[in-house]
Amino acid sequence: MERAKERLVQWLKDAHAMEAQAETMLKGMASRLEHYDELRHRVEQHVQETQAQAKKIEQCLDRCGAGTSALKDMAGKTTGMGQALSGLFVGDEVVKGALAGYTFEHFEIASYQALITTAEAAGETEIAEVCRGILKEEEAMANWLREHLPVVTRAFLAREGMDQPAKR
């Protein structure tokens, strides 16, 4: 159980870095979008959720007595997944951005599933509950993107077909 607790703390820190990176990518995407209002609004909403998620993770670390000062060391660190996807996000093309977002949400979903299992193994049921709440938000965002990818793609193709600016 002690080992599980140590692992939990480490993975909570990773999750915090993941959320910081999510915030950067989502904010960048929202600020660039000009012609896709529905997508931009949903992304902006998820920026708010993402900021709140980072706070919740900090509270979980406090609960573990881990403190949050160590998070500063993590600030510059990025997840490999985020690194791989950031090119698509900054590629400044709405369809690529949407599918990068969809992929990143699934990375988050998998991360919280592992965190929930680890929190339970460590006897930290409240932390497991918090992670379940965050998991629901990530799943909702992933589902929204899956449903709207065809809409966004069609809108992109229609704009391009009419020689209107389509990229963002």
Which of 108, 144, 145, 156 touches Mg ion (CB under 5 A)?
108
Nearest to Mg ion of 108, 124 (CB atom)? 108
85 binds, among Mg ion, Fe ion, none (CB under 5 to 8 A by kind): none
53 binds, among Fe ion, Mg ion, none (CB under 5 to 8 A by kind): Mg ion
79 in contact with Mg ion (CB under 5 A): no
- The 92-111 contact track toward Fe ion, x by CB under 5 A, reads ----------------x---
Nearest to Mg ion of 53, 118 (CB atom)? 53
Give the range of 6-14, 30-38, 101-109, 146-154 binding Mg ion by CB under 5 A: 101-109
**Mutual orientation of helices 94-121 and 125-161 as an angle, nearest 10°?**
170
Which of 94, 118, 138, 144 touches Fe ion (CB under 5 A)?
138
Residue whose token pair is 């012609």: 35
Name the site residues for Mg ion (rule: CB under 5 A): 19, 22, 50, 53, 108
Q: Which residues bind Fe ion (CB under 5 A)?
A: 108, 138
